[in-house]
Structure 1
């Protein structure tokens, strides 16, 4: 396969990595913001994450079917269309200050992102030498890191108001009849940002419509017993390393989402940091660390096996969360902010290890791996419940700590393939 032949398609496809990164990393801003605007509990605010990751769970298989039947380009076009529609739906949701309407809009955006992620991850792994697929996917995911650090910085600047009323101040506003005006002011802050997002996605959609992309065929050398592995079927789970990749990805995404989603609340709790400063810290320190971790991890994979790096980074993440759970002030805060650097390589590495050697079954395997992102809907709910019951968002961080334990297991044992299994 000629590297030069696929250079421009590779560049164009990695632009998609920014979009789902922005979707996921704007949630730590939307959760405290809509908690105020719609008067929610921690558990209720976690449904923002749940709506996004439920879409991944429900749409991943249809997205894989579209990609399998109609090719990569059509999958991308479907994804961009849904993403733009969802972004536009946020505007009437804000006007109505209707939380379920917001959740529907986020679900539609995430449905589009599901198509994009289902297509782009495997597409990047096959646009080049199969021996360097993990490195190539980590490189592409490094640009995902750009969206990861820009989302909280831009969201903190253009969505969060910085107004944090006490319970007594809220009661006074209600008594004076000014509460609804204040809440509507908060809700309206999302309108212009999401209008701009919709416009950018439509531009990218037009670019893809008028660009010819190669529908590369995967290597089918791993087909078993002469059977062409093109059937869209859960029989793909005969591969042990894929089965454990799906399980591990469920817990890893739960950990990743949980670490970020309540960071602003955590910063307020352990270090009395206001929401705008907390959003800036998350974007400029934690998410920049996440992005640098991707580039650093890609480089380190030249001298060490990806699976070994996965194991080392999972151990460090567990240790940092122990500190975040037990310390206070800046020690706790910066320990938590260090976690994204080490979790940065986990998703693409688990993904690449899970689909390695699957040939044409790569497409359906990709759908199941994306579907496992439902873990991001479960972990924040568990954290919100623990926070509401204990009145401590810090205690809730036991959830991502436990999730990283599954990543460590995958690095030690679960990644080992069993490709000789027959159907």
Structure 2
């Protein structure tokens, strides 16, 4: 009976992961859109990601503690509500045509997504004991479905309107209806999750702690977790940074129009979706850290080729990175939190703080891209360095845990 209940809960959580992916990836369409409206340079434009992912660092720790008190199901409901409020605030932000107000609305929207992340990831791992990496990769595939469909939605309802108007205020207002529609959908999801009465798995985390008690007083006492936090920082930073600059890179290097570039993002995020469905099956046969090492190594190679070619063909190699990003977040998360038991909620909050990499890394890449002697394509050395760290984590840092617990 408990197995059926867990399967039902996992199925319900797929909607959560879809919504998170859909909301987050719209930033990749917003960045070139707002860059043109407000005449921003690369660094100023990626403040969108800085505010969005900065919310993870500011609120992640607090939400981790909050979940210990209210439980994961209540956290999911609140996360949807906060996200809906942030979407609604896009209406006054667009009416005023103010970039700072847009950034404020994004921060509130992101805070809701942080709560969804903090609750959703450990919720899945506790519902699937022994198959954490495979289960989390499977539900994260629906996150990738959201990131695949999001750019199409954004390109159709946001980017396409840019070409029809000249007035700055009217251009800014093209985001109002899309985000109000999203707000309505999020409120409906909050009501559905509330009515479903999903199981509270906090007691299960305590049981895991009893079997793995080793005198540790916090998640930070586990070295594999600490190194895993670094891997999450660099993974999110690398993935978000590439996604943020892809449309601009296509426009600058291959002279592809913004609307077409936004459509082409489907190959980057769609690759992640396909890879997660494949990875969920593969990791039932091959060790998760082995799969992680392979994917990180391939991404380093793809970026090296893109930089070496330094022409329009580089776009194909950059888009291919999405396929190999696929398993990284769920695999790193499950490896980093394995055996943490009662510290799982705390660990999830800390990991969500590490998602601030999505704020920091694009800003660094944007700064380098604004240096005329280097340029936009050379700035992809920044995400390359991120994947090098992930490769080291998979090959060396995680093996520290395996030797310690052997």
TM, length-normalised to structure 2: 0.94
Query: 1:380-419 maps to which residues of 2 (within 5 A)?
Result: 380-390=362-372, 392-416=375-399, 418=401
Q: Does the 8 Å contact 1:97/1:184 carry over to 2?
A: yes
Q: What is the rounded CA distance, in whole Å, between the counterparts of 2:29 and 2:283 in structure 1? A: 33
Deviation, structure 1 residue 398: 0.9
**Does residue 1:108 correspond to 2:108, yes or no?**
yes
Query: 1:285-364 maps to which residues of 2 (within 5 A)?
Result: 285-364=267-346
Deviation, structure 1 residue 221: 3.5
Q: Does the 8 Å contact 1:161/1:186 carry over to 2?
A: no
Q: Does the 8 Å contact 2:29/2:151 carry over to 1?
A: yes
**Does residue 1:259 correspond to 2:242, yes or no?**
yes
Q: What is the rounded CA distance, in whole Å, between the counterparts of 2:95 and 2:161 in structure 1? A: 20
Q: What is the rounded CA distance, in whole Å, between the counterparts of 1:132 and 1:419 in structure 2? A: 17
Q: Does the 8 Å contact 2:37/2:171 carry over to 1?
A: yes
Q: What is the rounded CA distance, in whole Å, between the counterparts of 1:223 and 1:304 in structure 2? A: 24
**Does residue 1:186 correspond to 2:185, yes or no?**
no
Q: What is the rounded CA distance, in whole Å, between the counterparts of 2:400 and 2:22 in structure 1? A: 33
Deviation, structure 1 residue 40: 1.1
More helix by share: 2
Structure 1, unpaired ranges of 5+: 166-178
Partner of 1:276: 259
Partner of 2:95: 95
Q: Does the 8 Å contact 1:36/1:183 carry over to 2?
A: no
Deviation, structure 1 residue 416: 2.9
What is the SS of the residue equivalent to 1:131? Answer: coil
Q: What is the rounded CA distance, in whole Å, between the counterparts of 1:278 and 1:30 in structure 2? A: 13
Deviation, structure 1 residue 307: 0.5
Partner of 2:14: 14
Larger Rg: 1
Partner of 2:183: 198
Deviation, structure 1 residue 76: 1.2
Q: Does the 8 Å contact 1:66/1:74 carry over to 2?
A: no
Cα deviation, 1:287-314, whole Å, max 9, x if unaligned, reads 2111001111112112211100100111
Q: What is the rounded CA distance, in whole Å, between the counterparts of 1:163 and 1:97 in structure 2? A: 14
Partner of 2:127: 127
Query: 1:172-251 maps to which residues of 2 (within 5 A)?
Result: 182-216=167-201, 217-218=204-205, 219-224=208-213, 235-251=218-234
Deviation, structure 1 residue 260: 0.4
Deviation, structure 1 residue 190: 0.2
Q: Does the 8 Å contact 1:239/1:419 carry over to 2?
A: no
Deviation, structure 1 residue 248: 1.2
Deviation, structure 1 residue 13: 1.6
Partner of 1:40: 40
Matched positions, count: 400
Partner of 1:154: 153
Partner of 1:59: 59
Q: Does the 8 Å contact 2:219/2:344 carry over to 1?
A: no
Cα deviation, 1:314-372, whole Å, max 9, x if unaligned, reads 11101111122222444211000000100111111000000001111111111111110
Structure 2, unpaired ranges of 5+: none
Q: Does the 8 Å contact 2:33/2:162 carry over to 1?
A: no
Q: What is the rounded CA distance, in whole Å, between the counterparts of 1:17 and 1:407 in structure 2? A: 23
Query: 1:371-386 maps to which residues of 2 (within 5 A)?
Result: 371-386=353-368
Q: Does the 8 Å contact 2:236/2:357 carry over to 1?
A: yes
**Does residue 1:145 correspond to 2:134, yes or no?**
no
Say if 1:267 and 1:4 are closer, same or farther in 2 by CA, change over 3 A. same
Cα deviation, 1:56-76, whole Å, max 9, x if unaligned, reads 111111111111111112211
Say if 1:53 and 1:240 are closer, same or farther in 2 by CA, change over 3 A. same
TM, length-normalised to structure 1: 0.90
What is the SS of the residue equivalent to 2:89? Answer: helix
Q: What is the rounded CA distance, in whole Å, between the counterparts of 1:97 and 1:65 in structure 2? A: 37
Deviation, structure 1 residue 417: 5.1
